[in-house]
Amino acid sequence: MSINKQAVLEQLETVHLPDGKNIVALDMVRAITIDGNDVRFVIEVSAEDGPRMEPVRAAAQQVVEGIEGIEKVSVILTSPSAPKAPPSLKIGGHPKPAADSQSIPGVDRILAIASGKGGVGKSTVSSNLAVALAKQGRRVGLLDADIHGPSQPRMMGVSKRPASPDGKTIIPLQAHGVTMMSLGLMLDEDQAVIWRGPMLMGALQQMLGQVEWGELDVLIIDLPPGTGDVQLTLAQKSKVTGAVIVSTPQDVALLDARKAMNMFNQLKTPIVGMIENMSHYVCPDCGKEAHIFGHGGARAEAEKQNLPFLGEIPLDLEIRLAGDGGTPIAATDNPIADAYAKIAKGLIDADMA
């Protein structure tokens, strides 16, 4: 028997609190994840109730363990302990149930930039691609959904707190011809983000739903690395046109990229193609090309997976310096900008941006 979320919820409806209401009706069950024969979920309780809720947790585990075919059940009790949201903007909070996957009014396409592994340059690709597309006349938005480590404010050179005239809608900022928003703009730069899953999901949904994006040809979303809740929420709750996978050429990054691709396949999010970042290094002194992380791995992987290969970006100090300085290299006339321009053109020609 295949295990589905509905079957899990039905069992959980039989777990009641002392006041008689069940934990599903009370909206306490979060983040149900079914992984083969294993099931994981979270029960959210108030901080005061926490210690008294262990029997409820145990009961929830027991009833789900009773479902035929389930081998392992992990249930975690959590209570909100997130830092306070910026008062006027109400970022955070629980995700509101979305009936179906939603499109964003005025936004024609959503492109998610993803990677399996951290640090492969996904955020750098996102900002440069956004700028390169804007330079080619597209109306582009950039949403920094890398909520654990938002880096777009630094890379795009913005630090102003977005306005919210009515305390509900959020007015995004403009930088290098791109309309952008990042949770980083709501936080102090060195504030660690320790929000738990459900809070993050709420924040993400708010960023998608409450930001006044205006009319956009494409909204680029810089995802966190890996295959976590943000990716799942995004793919399930919004109409993502496609995902672009960024990888460095070496095996370990490709291994993780494969996991990310599997996730998108399972979520039925089309994969637009792969980009190889840090593809090669040209020594500025002698002009010799070196392949520090190997070369061509992402292209070969794309071929293997029958996916388009969108292009390669060299490893270059100028790219890092430009990103750190708040002006993506794609916004300059440095010849390296051509690499991003080429990928942007490919996306436009494929009607993906």
Ligand X SMILES: Nc1ncnc2c1ncn2[C@@H]1O[C@H](COP(=O)(O)OP(=O)(O)OP(=O)(O)O)[C@@H](O)[C@H]1O
Q: Is 119 in the site for ligand X (CB under 6 A)?
A: yes
345 is in an annotated binding site: no
Is 142 an interacting residue with respect to ligand X (CB under 6 A)?
Answer: no
With respect to ligand X, which residue has the nearer C-beta, 21 or 259? Answer: 259
Q: Which of residues 151-210 bind ligand X (CB under 6 A)?
A: 151
Task: Judge whether 42 is annotated as a binding position.
Answer: no
CA–CA gap between residue 330 and residue 128 (Å, rounded): 5
280 lies in the site for ligand X, by CB under 6 A: no
Phi/psi for 151 (5° steps) reads -120, -5
Convert residues 208-237 into a mask of x (bound to ligand X by CB under 6 A) and - (unbound). -----------------x------------
107 is a site residue for ligand X (CB under 6 A): no
Work out which of 109, 122, 154, 196 binds ligand X, going by CB under 6 A. 122
Least distance CB 201 / ligand X (angstroms): 18
Phi, psi dihedral angles at 84 (to 5 degrees): -65, 140
Q: Using the rule CB under 6 A, which residue among 7, 254, 278, 331 binds ligand X? A: 278
- Could you give the 3-state DSSP secondary structure of residue 196? coil
Q: Are 15 and 61 in contact (CB under 8 A)?
A: no
Q: Which residues contact 86 (CB under 8 A, 6 or more apart)?
A: 161, 186
CB 259 within 8 A of CB 148: no
Q: Based on the shown chain and the rule CB under 6 A, indicate whether residue 316 belongs to the binding site for ligand X.
A: yes
State the Rg of the chain over Cα: 22
Residue 118 engages ligand X in binding (rule: CB under 6 A) = yes
124 binds ligand X (CB under 6 A): yes
Q: Give the residue with the Cβ less far from ligand X, 106 or 119.
A: 119
Residue from 3, 15, 115, 141 that binds ligand X (CB under 6 A)? 115
**How many residues bind ligand X, per CB under 6 A?**
20
H-helix or E-strand spanning residue 317: helix 317-325
Tokens 């006041």 appear where? 19
Asked whether position 326 contacts ligand X by CB under 6 A, the answer is no
- Burial degree of 228 (CB within 10 A; 0-12, 13-18, 19+): middle
Amino acid letter, residue 242: G
Candidate ranges 1-9, 236-244, 250-258, 310-318; the one touching ligand X (CB under 6 A): 310-318
Q: Applying CB under 6 A, does 313 fall inside the site for ligand X?
A: yes
Q: Is 120 a known ligand-binding residue?
A: yes
Asked if residue 319 binds ligand X (CB under 6 A), the reply is yes
Phi, psi torsion values for 123, nearest 5 degrees: -70, -35
CA distances to 81, 229, 312, 348 from 138, in Å: 41, 30, 21, 9
